[in-house]
């Protein structure tokens, strides 16, 4: 389980990106984070996984506050959190299989692995994860020949390769067409509902949030203004969340 307690992020120029954000994400559920541009959605994800340092607050993952960790302890905690960003960030000239297997770099720091000579056991595990995301047939296909939706599914497989307990997806379908968006979101939802992961996904598409999320959390100006089961969030509430959105 993920528990965020009173998380704040303030910049030296006085700007506040997050103000006392508290929420929980549970295994088997998809929590969608919605909000207008500049509301703090991506900053929240980056603070949780320690790509950006929070000013104060706690991020509890499996009972451990990762805000207070460093060195090997922090690296071990990060392996519990898979992350998928808007850009799949695959290595273009490498195969889908090699891109997935590169997820082992977090635990295998040997020189051959860093040079791309991935252990057979890791490649076999990568095959299983490609099968899980429905792309086993494209295992040997170069990443730069994949469609946008296929690339994101490979990125999901790479995140799963870490055996995380929580999966974060920061606007994973922002650049995809409607069909590919639904494919990726259906996969993400199945990882929660069928595989038992806790999933936190940042979205702009209100219809996808209502279709695939179990809970919807709304952010405005760095504060949580909505936290409800998805079926209880109506169109008017979502419209109010985005009213007067800054350009």
Q: What is the CATH number of the domain that holds 76?
A: 3.40.50.300
Q: Which runs of consecutive H residues, i.e. helices, occur in 1-86? A: 41-48, 71-78
Q: Report yes or no on 247 lying in a domain.
A: no
Report if residue 182 sits inside a domain. Answer: yes
Domain membership of residue 116 (yes or no) is yes
The angle, 0 to 180 degrees and rounded to 10, between the axes of the packed helices 148-160 and 178-193 is 20
Statement: the pTM of the whole predicted model exceeds 0.85: yes
- Structural domain boundaries enclosing 162: 2-242
In a domain, 104, yes or no: yes
pLDDT tens for the 247 residues of the chain, in order = 899 999 999 999 889 999 999 999 999 999 999 999 889 999 999 999 999 999 999 999 988 999 999 998 988 888 899 999 988 889 999 999 989 988 655 555 544 554 556 677 788 889 999 999 999 999 999 999 999 999 999 999 999 998 899 999 999 999 899 999 999 999 999 999 999 999 999 998 888 999 999 999 999 999 999 999 998 888 787 878 887 654 3
Domains in the chain, number? 1
CB 11 within 8 A of CB 19: no
d(CA 6, CA 154): 34
Residues 6 or more apart whose Cβ sits within 8 Å of residue 210: 216, 230, 233, 238
């Amino acid at each position: 389980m993920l528990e965020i307690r009173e998380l704040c992020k303030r910049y030296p120029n006085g700007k506040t990106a997050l103000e006392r954000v508290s929420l929980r994400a549970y295994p088997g559920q998809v929590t969608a984070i919605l909000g207008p541009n500049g509301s703090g959605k991506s900053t929240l994800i980056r603070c949780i996984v320690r790509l950006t340092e929070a000013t104060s607050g706690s991020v509890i993952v499996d009972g451990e506050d990762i805000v207070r960790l460093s060195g090997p302890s922090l690296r071990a905690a990060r392996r519990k959190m898979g992350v998928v960003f808007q850009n799949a960030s695959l290595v273009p000239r490498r195969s889908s299989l090699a891109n997935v297997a590169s997820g082992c770099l977090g635990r295998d720091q040997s020189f051959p692995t860093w040079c791309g000579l991935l252990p057979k056991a890791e490649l076999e595990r990568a095959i299983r994860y490609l099968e899980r995301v429905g792309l086993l047939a494209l295992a040997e296909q170069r990443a730069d020949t994949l469609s946008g939706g296929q690339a994101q599914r490979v990125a999901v497989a790479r995140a799963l390769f870490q055996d995380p307990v929580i999966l974060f997806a920061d606007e994973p379908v922002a650049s995809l067409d409607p069909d590919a968006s639904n494919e990726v979101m259906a996969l993400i939802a199945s990882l929660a509902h069928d595989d038992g992961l806790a999933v936190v996904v940042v979205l702009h598409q209100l219809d996808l949030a209502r279709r695939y999320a179990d809970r919807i959390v709304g952010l405005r100006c760095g504060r949580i203004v909505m936290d409800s089961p998805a079926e209880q969030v109506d169109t008017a509430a979502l419209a109010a969340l985005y009213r007067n959105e800054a350009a």
